[in-house]
A = this chain, B = another copy of it.
Amino acid sequence: MNLNRYDVVVIGSGPGGFTAAVRAAQIGAKVAIVEKSFVGGTCLNCGCISTKFLWQSLKTKQKIQKSYEYGFKATLEPVVFEDIVSRKNKNIVNIRKGMEIILSSYNISVLNGSASFKDKNTLIVLNNEKNEESEIYGDKIIIASGTKPSIVKDFIFDGNKIISSTDALNLREIPKNMLIIGGGVIGIEMATIFAGFSCQITLAECADSLLPNENSEISEEIRKNLSRQGVEVITACTNALDNISKYEKVLIVTGRTPNSTLGLNNLEINTIGKGFIETNEFCQTNIDNVYAVGDIAGKNLLACSAQNEGAAAAENAVKGNIVAVSNLVVPQVVFAIPQSSSVKVSDFSKYKNIIFGKFPFTANGRAFIENERAGFVKCAVDKLTEKPLAFWIIGAHSDEIVNTASQILKSGIKHISRETMFHPSLSESLLNAYEDAFGKCTEIAAKK
């Protein structure tokens, strides 16, 4: 049974699991991954990467429709949605092949099947397709099993009328209309994409605003943009599912539920909430050889955090607990049109004396050049120390620009240097918004 013994066994191959497995191999461990579906996990196959392929096709379609703004004319042939989905699927297969090549280059074994703990070092791997069961031993085990779409009441996903985000990403044609339940990130992204491809969308959110935890000016701007794009947005909506007969599709995106059917009871592992696995700053569970990273650890359900935890858990599992994960400054992006991005210092809520600056992209030269003048940057600044505390960016390429904001906040500097921002760039607007907080932005008119 020597073949089935590993230094590190990772459950799941999404951003957290993949990073953990590769890093563990890089520092000398013999590693296996147990994956019950496709390499790449939710992020690649039915999450952020998949969604962005559809979003990007929509964005490019809109660019072509506005080609006259750049000085020429182009005619778009009628869009066949199936071609756009095929493009996504073809690319996902290619990305997945790339990931498999990386795993193979590090001699990481990939076992296909569902993992279940027999004891703290032994996993039973059930391969349903082949109807085979095997056992695998891991000196250390890293759980990166992720999450799946939550269901609401007794509305079971039937893949036909009641659909999940996974189903939505693989529709072959655009429905006439669709009710989307849930005005979080996924609901907004789905509404943007499907409305952009001419589906009549109703987006229902039970809270008083979309993205209820977001700055109200931002969620209001997103709502306005969705409305302009033809989406009917209903907030404070508690009875959305009472009359679904008039909708061709009902997409439920109210949250994510941990994939915790892993025989965890055999371990007496500590969980929190809906079944998320409790971990310390080293990504370690209460069972000392078992770590958990990414969505299943429930800290924040973002791929970059999962990767960060994955790399740290690998180092800790192989070398002893040497890397504490802070996740202090984590950028977030909603792929609406335009994109809405934000990042805050981790102790943002502790600051009491905050001033705000704002800068519209209509005043940015690069935005003129690219004909992407919608949106703005908003900056929160500590009045006492003049330290920037948060940035919200609604606008084209804000998914890249937010990374500049992240570095500014992470560095803890108290002043943004103008020389560090290329001119003309959209990113300059971070500086402009920051300076506006002090009435010192040179790129907008004086306020009377």
A-B pairs with beta carbons under 8 Å apart, 20 shown? A23-B440, A48-B424, A60-B67, A63-B63, A64-B67, A71-B87, A71-B88, A72-B79, A73-B76, A102-B442, A302-B423, A304-B420, A304-B423, A331-B422, A399-B422, A401-B403, A403-B404, A403-B428, A404-B427, A411-B413
Check A244 for interface membership: any CB of B closer than 8 A: no
How would residues 359 to 390 of chain A score, 1 for a CB under 8 Å from any chain B CB and 0 otherwise?
00001011011110000000000000000000
Check A417 for interface membership: any CB of B closer than 8 A: yes
Whether B57 contacts A72 by the Cβ 8 Å rule is yes
How would residues 419 to 448 of chain A score, 1 for a CB under 8 Å from any chain B CB and 0 otherwise?
111111111100000000001101111101
Whether A422 contacts B402 by the Cβ 8 Å rule is yes
Question: Interface SS of chain A: helix, strand, loop or mixed?
Answer: helix
- Shortest beta-carbon distance from A404 to chain B in Å: 4
Across the interface, name the chain B residue whose C-beta is closest to A371: B56
By a beta-carbon cutoff of 8 Å, the part of chain A in contact with chain B is 15, 18-19, 22-23, 25-26, 43-44, 48-49, 52-53, 56-57, 60-61, 63-64, 67, 69-77, 79-80, 83-88, 91, 94-95, 98, 101-102, 104-106, 302-305, 307-308, 311, 325-333, 341, 343, 363, 365-366, 368-371, 397, 399-404, 406-408, 410-411, 413, 417-428, 439-440, 442-446, 448
Interface centre among A61, A71, A72 (most CB of B within 10 A): A71
Contact of A101 among B74, B333, B369, B445 (CB under 8 A): B445
Identify the 6 closest CB pairs spanning chains A and B, nearest first: A411-B411, A407-B407, A71-B84, A105-B445, A406-B420, A303-B423
Whether B72 contacts A417 by the Cβ 8 Å rule is no
For A397, list chain B residues within 8 Å (CB).
397, 400
| Bound-complex Cα distance A25 to B439 (A) | 12
Across the interface, name the chain B residue whose C-beta is closest to A329: B420
This protein's copies in its complex = 2
For A25, list chain B residues within 8 Å (CB).
446
For A399, list chain B residues within 8 Å (CB).
366, 422, 425
- Shortest beta-carbon distance from A57 to chain B in Å: 5
For A104, list chain B residues within 8 Å (CB).
445
| Bound-complex Cα distance A446 to B307 (A) | 18
For A423, list chain B residues within 8 Å (CB).
15, 43, 48, 302-304, 307
Whether B72 contacts A75 by the Cβ 8 Å rule is no
- Shortest beta-carbon distance from A28 to chain B in Å: 12
Q: A72-B61, A397-B400, A400-B400 are in contact. Are A49 and B365 (CB under 8 A)?
A: yes
Interface centre among A60, A326, A410, A448 (most CB of B within 10 A): A60
15 extra interchain contacts, Cβ-Cβ under 8 A, other than A105-B448, A304-B423? A23-B440, A44-B365, A49-B424, A52-B369, A102-B446, A104-B445, A304-B419, A308-B417, A331-B422, A397-B397, A397-B400, A400-B427, A406-B421, A407-B407, A411-B413
